[in-house]
Structure 1
Amino acid sequence: MAPEKQKNEVALAALSGCGVAAVWYAASTAFLTGTLGSVLPAGGAIAVASLLPTYILRRKAKASSATELLSMSQRLDALNKHACINIVNDQNALTEVNDSLLSLTGYSREELIGQQVRVLYDDPAKNKADEVRGFLERGKTWQGETQLRHKDGSVLFTHATIMPLFDEDGNWSGSISARTDVTQAHDLITERQTTQTLNELRDDIWIVDSETEKFSYMNRSAKGRLSMSEAEYKSKNLSDLNHDQEIEEVLQACRTLRKNGGSSTQFKASLLGVPMHVSVKFLPGGAGTGRYLILFNDISEHLEQEQQKSAFISTVSHELRSPLTSIKGAMGLLLSGSAGELPDKASALLEIAHRNADRLILIINDILDLDKISNGQMDFDIKEVDLAELVQETDTANAMFQQRFGVETVLQGVDAPVMMHTDPNRIIQVLTNLLSNAYKFSSPGSSITVSVEDDAEQVRIAVKDSGQGIPANEQHKIFDRFADMTNSDRASKGGTGLGLSICRAIVENLGGSIGFETEVGVGTTFFFTLPKVLPDMIAADNSDTKQIA
């Protein structure tokens, strides 16, 4: 109570006592006579004047105390309802938690009581508990943001006030914490910052609710491309947009991720006639909810540059092949003695030049084949052939390379005819490339095995060497264009790195598949399978020569 107010109440109580004493004195002298009349009025007046103020002050104090106790009870009840409260002992173990904290974190009281308070903290924020304890042990109150972990794993943000508790001897005995959930406000701030960043990107960004498939966000680029305002796109879902813009691939990718529990996928698609590289990522939320983050990267400029580069390479290759063929032919005539006998030294040098001319022509042919594949212009001459005979023919044609590298070839599964419909020249091209690699990477004196396995529906051809194997960090790109160029050891063996890329394109266009098995230090087996019954895209054409895109 304020001192001034207390003085006023004391004075008022004293005045009341004096007034009542005066009334007592006047009344008692009027009605009392004798000895009582001379003693009792004065004594009673003194007693009333001294005791009544004390009684009045005590009654006021008791009423004030009851009011204060009621007010405190109401405040504690309000705090308990609207704040998350927990009490921790001096061992940092939880001894009490209120319903609000249980509701926020998803735990039951039995799961928390007796556990270390650190169980509530998110992993990156567990050190925060140690920082708070240091404050409390020094008798200080700690205030700040704490990052908690919900039972389902989601992150919660709270603003906390944590006060130390002391026992009767003044020793620290634990703490009491009052927290307010600020997760929504924190998320809004984070989302606003993220939105500002996404708005500046040139790529189109969509964010879609995984449950309703409704749009929750489009960045500036996406809105501009689709000519939509925020109100317009938020009124639509993926199905609506699929009806308007034909985004079936995007819609199915999202649904597949949700159904199979995947996290992301990438593919190429078209949006409003523009070629796009599309990335779809599932962002999980709490209680099984989530969002799709869909990114569209316009690759039209990149494709145009690739076409220009391809056209340039094709033009240059065509221009080079004619003079190279003439040079090679002239050197061949010289080596055959058409211009007379050559000195041994000159003949040796000319032989080297002739081999390198061969190599250059092979490189140019690879580049031209790759250009045809890229443009869907590679021709296939489909015939009924004996695959076993093709393998033997290819082995004979490569006898010179076997001698150069000091290796031998072992053929398996070629004793009986293996009849099928395919392009014999393209099969020889694939086999020659695989054998060439096997020769280059095998040690002199070793053997290479070429096997043919025939079953009712398909044929498997394998080329096995005993070379160095393919390192794990190179395996993922072995069929990429110019793969040899990225590895100095493989590049030292020669080759453009285009051969395996061309092999894959040929095999896949013939309806088959290609792969490899490798062990470093032991060797590698390249294999491809081809269907004995032609794919519909070939069989439907009755002409002898087919063009396969």
Structure 2
Amino acid sequence: MPKIKFDGRTIAAFSAGLFLAVAWYTLSGAVLSGWSAEVFPVIGAVIIAALMSAFAVRKPATAIQHIGDVSLAQQLRLLKTHTMVNVVDTQNLLVEVNDLLLEATGYSRDELIGQPVSKLYANDGTSFADQIRAKLCSKEGWQGETLLRRRDGSICITQTTVTPLLDSDGKWIGSISARTDITKTVELIAERDIGLTLHELRDDVWIVDEKTETLKYMNRAAKNRFGWTPTSYTDITLTQMAQEHDCKAILDACAALKANKETFIKLEAHIFGTKFDVSTKWLHPNTPNGRFLIMLNDISDRMAEERKQADFISMVSHELRSPLTSIKGAMGLLLSRAAGELSPKAEGLLEIAHRNADRLVLIINDILDMEKISSGRLDFDIKEFDVSEMVNEAVRSNSAMQQRSGMNIRCVGVDAPHIVETDPNRIIQVLINLLSNATKFSKPGDTVEVMIESLASGVRVSVRDEGSGIPEKDQHKLFQRFADMTNSDRVAKGGTGLGLSICKAIVESLGGTIGFESREGEGATFMFTLPTRISDKVQEPVRPMLRSVG
């Protein structure tokens, strides 16, 4: 029974009821007679008093209900103002979306109304929407994180509560979802976790502001290297680091990224007296959040270990080359009949041994050259020389293999002189290697063409074969050490896998460039270009200081 509030309106209603009841009792008692004069006045007075009391109670109850309705509407309006809201029917079709949801996703109302709610979900939206629907069918709600795919394809992370809607009979008629955008919160948590990970790395990590080039972050390893406290590096610039701590290579790398509009550079640099592999990544270029992420990996221990290995290989190779040269010379004398005639069987076995001795000498020479290249000790004898003479010499040196394989070598452009400043012996070494490869991968009777062309800035030499070509999947590793191609078959064709990497190092050290063109099944063309004049100081054939990745 509702509690009666005795305000002015209620008191007036009760007073009026009392007055009317008394008036009825008096008048009806005077008019009526007999038993009716005793019964009807009392009954009428009670009915009148009851009706007036009911009226007094009913009005406040209606007012309370009206206030409740107004409060519920205000709550829903407040919810829609501060939260993304959508309503779906029993078929998971959107029937209502509020402005915040439209603003967050970039859709218009017409693009969503009547569409499956799965349109909003990233990944497998249909499956996810069905999982929630199964809960709602059981008149249960659902809470959790949902990934919404915006109209532009980006992702919005939301914390979502889905509640079933029921009619007056308790039948499920749809659902209402309230979503809060937590994308930035999740990103901040991810950044915090990344920061904790970077802090614990053994490599030095710097983060530098793109515009001001000031240090914004250093992990523990980087700070310990300088002996700095957590805030010692605040607002120190890369220019200061270059001047005071020998970090000019890093400053130059960041400048190169900006100038070349690239996003990644890797280099080797000596910093603080230590050799580092330095990786510089340009994050969010040309935006207010532009940053350079710089990682320094101390490779001094690795370099020392590689130096030991190189010294060992060099020693072993030198020790092997001397006896092999003697063995090869002795077999050559025997084959030339210096010790008398040989039986056909003995001569055949000796030729096999002599060819394998040649192969071992070439392998040892390749290993020694690669060791010199790695350590920057490959010597050059620079002089003016005719490229045509180099080509002819390389063809003569390759004549024995040419005869055994039944190949034809055609030279184009060798009739005219092509004078360049270079190391002729090293270029002949490159040519012999390219001719040897062309012969190995061609069929008997094929033709290998060597062409010389004069350019404005130098001379280009190309070696073209009609062989099997280079598979596209292998082309990226062609100039790597010990590169093993799909169709290389070293056992049958010989080789160490070092030849092309040595050629590349020699040509680039002499100021030239080297490359190739090939399609599988259609042969290959290797070409290198030499400048007419080389700089006074021949560049040491070490790994490039700056390597860009698009």
TM-score (norm. length: structure 1): 0.83
Query: In structure 2, what is the Cα distance between the partners aligned to 1:99 and 1:236?
Result: 46
Query: In structure 1, what is the Cα distance between the partners aligned to 2:392 and 2:198?
Result: 60
Deviation at 1:82, TM superposition (A): 1.9
Tell me which residue corresponds to 1:272. Answer: 272
**Amino acid across the alignment from 1:537:** K
Tell me which residue corresponds to 2:76. Answer: 76
Tell me which residue corresponds to 2:534. Answer: 534
Tell me which residue corresponds to 1:455. Answer: 455
Tell me which residue corresponds to 1:299. Answer: 299
Query: In structure 2, what is the Cα distance between the partners aligned to 1:409 and 1:349?
Result: 29
Q: 1:400 to 1:43 in 2, by over 3 A?
A: closer
Deviation at 1:313, TM superposition (A): 0.8
Tell me which residue corresponds to 2:476. Answer: 476
Deviation at 1:483, TM superposition (A): 2.1
Query: In structure 2, what is the Cα distance between the partners aligned to 1:429 and 1:386?
Result: 15
Tell me which residue corresponds to 2:383. Answer: 383
Query: In structure 1, what is the Cα distance between the partners aligned to 2:21 and 2:87?
Result: 64
Among all aligned residue pairs of Structure 1 and Structure 2, give the percentage whose two residues are the same amino acid. Answer: 51
Does residue 9 (structure 1) correspond to residue 4 (structure 2)? The answer is: yes
Partner of 1:369: helix, strand, or coil?
helix
Tell me which residue corresponds to 1:222. Answer: 222
**Amino acid across the alignment from 2:435:** L
Q: 1:458 to 1:258 in 2, by over 3 A?
A: closer
8 Å Cα contact 2:466/2:523 also seen in 1: yes
Deviation at 1:93, TM superposition (A): 3.9
**Amino acid across the alignment from 1:179:** R
Query: In structure 2, what is the Cα distance between the partners aligned to 1:295 and 1:395?
Result: 49
8 Å Cα contact 1:484/1:496 also seen in 2: no
Tell me which residue corresponds to 1:394. Answer: 394
Query: In structure 2, what is the Cα distance between the partners aligned to 1:152 and 1:253?
Result: 34
Query: In structure 1, what is the Cα distance between the partners aligned to 2:346 and 2:340?
Result: 12
**Amino acid across the alignment from 2:320:** L
Q: 1:87 to 1:281 in 2, by over 3 A?
A: farther
Tell me which residue corresponds to 2:99. Answer: 99
Query: In structure 2, what is the Cα distance between the partners aligned to 1:207 and 1:450?
Result: 52
- Bigger drift between 341-350 and 396-405 goes to 341-350
Q: 1:42 to 1:241 in 2, by over 3 A?
A: farther
- Bigger drift between 292-301 and 372-381 goes to 292-301
Q: 1:353 to 1:16 in 2, by over 3 A?
A: same
Query: In structure 2, what is the Cα distance between the partners aligned to 1:112 and 1:214?
Result: 47
Query: In structure 1, what is the Cα distance between the partners aligned to 2:52 and 2:536?
Result: 115
**Amino acid across the alignment from 1:523:** G
Q: 1:181 to 1:267 in 2, by over 3 A?
A: same
Deviation at 1:235, TM superposition (A): 5.0
Tell me which residue corresponds to 2:498. Answer: 498
Deviation at 1:493, TM superposition (A): 0.7
Tell me which residue corresponds to 1:144. Answer: 144
Partner of 1:537: helix, strand, or coil?
coil
- Bigger drift between 105-114 and 58-67 goes to 105-114
User: Deviation string for 1:470-527 (max 9, x for gaps)?
Assistant: 2223222221122259876144311112211111111111111111112222211111
Query: In structure 1, what is the Cα distance between the partners aligned to 2:463 and 2:395?
Result: 11
Tell me which residue corresponds to 2:548. Answer: none
Tell me which residue corresponds to 1:541. Answer: none
Query: In structure 1, what is the Cα distance between the partners aligned to 2:67 and 2:261?
Result: 60
Tell me which residue corresponds to 2:202. Answer: 202
Q: 1:208 to 1:84 in 2, by over 3 A?
A: farther
**Amino acid across the alignment from 1:187:** E
**Amino acid across the alignment from 1:9:** I
- Bigger drift between 270-279 and 440-449 goes to 270-279
- Bigger drift between 408-417 and 323-332 goes to 323-332
Deviation at 1:372, TM superposition (A): 2.0
Deviation at 1:423, TM superposition (A): 1.8
Does residue 371 (structure 1) correspond to residue 371 (structure 2)? The answer is: yes
Q: 1:94 to 1:521 in 2, by over 3 A?
A: same
Tell me which residue corresponds to 1:122. Answer: 122
Q: 1:291 to 1:105 in 2, by over 3 A?
A: farther
Partner of 2:380: helix, strand, or coil?
strand
Residues 356-367 of structure 1: pairs in structure 2 closer than 5 A: 356-367=356-367
Tell me which residue corresponds to 1:427. Answer: 427
Deviation at 1:338, TM superposition (A): 3.5
Query: In structure 1, what is the Cα distance between the partners aligned to 2:21 and 2:534?
Result: 133
User: Deviation string for 1:333-386 (max 9, x for gaps)?
Assistant: 333344344444333333332332222222222222222222222222222222
**Amino acid across the alignment from 2:143:** Q
Does residue 489 (structure 1) correspond to residue 489 (structure 2)? The answer is: yes
Q: 1:220 to 1:214 in 2, by over 3 A?
A: same
Tell me which residue corresponds to 1:321. Answer: 321
User: Deviation string for 1:253-288 (max 9, x for gaps)?
Assistant: 567667877664444344434333334445669x98
Partner of 1:123: helix, strand, or coil?
coil
Query: In structure 1, what is the Cα distance between the partners aligned to 2:366 and 2:304?
Result: 22
Deviation at 1:163, TM superposition (A): 2.7
Does residue 353 (structure 1) correspond to residue 353 (structure 2)? The answer is: yes
8 Å Cα contact 1:21/1:48 also seen in 2: no
Tell me which residue corresponds to 2:157. Answer: 157
Query: In structure 2, what is the Cα distance between the partners aligned to 1:244 and 1:87?
Result: 63
- Bigger drift between 132-141 and 509-518 goes to 132-141
Deviation at 1:415, TM superposition (A): 1.6
Query: In structure 1, what is the Cα distance between the partners aligned to 2:211 and 2:262?
Result: 15
Gaps of 5+ in 1: 539-545
8 Å Cα contact 1:25/1:44 also seen in 2: no
Please give the root-mean-square deviation of Cα atoms over the aligned residues, in Å. Answer: 4.1
Query: In structure 2, what is the Cα distance between the partners aligned to 1:252 and 1:415?
Result: 47
8 Å Cα contact 1:21/1:46 also seen in 2: no
Partner of 1:381: helix, strand, or coil?
coil
User: Deviation string for 1:235-266 (max 9, x for gaps)?
Assistant: 55666655654555555656766787766444
Query: In structure 1, what is the Cα distance between the partners aligned to 2:242 and 2:44?
Result: 101
Tell me which residue corresponds to 1:66. Answer: 66
**Amino acid across the alignment from 1:365:** N
Deviation at 1:396, TM superposition (A): 2.2
Partner of 1:483: helix, strand, or coil?
coil
Does residue 49 (structure 1) correspond to residue 42 (structure 2)? The answer is: no
TM-score (norm. length: structure 2): 0.82
User: Deviation string for 1:26-59 (max 9, x for gaps)?
Assistant: 9989x99x959x9999799646632332222123
User: Deviation string for 1:101-159 (max 9, x for gaps)?
Assistant: 23333444455444443332223555322222333344443322211123444322222
Deviation at 1:431, TM superposition (A): 0.8
Q: 1:122 to 1:527 in 2, by over 3 A?
A: same
Deviation at 1:326, TM superposition (A): 2.2
**Amino acid across the alignment from 2:4:** E
- Bigger relative contact order, structure 1 or 2, given CA contacts below 8 A and separation 6+? 2
Partner of 1:380: helix, strand, or coil?
coil
Partner of 2:493: helix, strand, or coil?
coil
Tell me which residue corresponds to 2:546. Answer: none
Query: In structure 2, what is the Cα distance between the partners aligned to 1:251 and 1:94?
Result: 55
Aligned length: 534
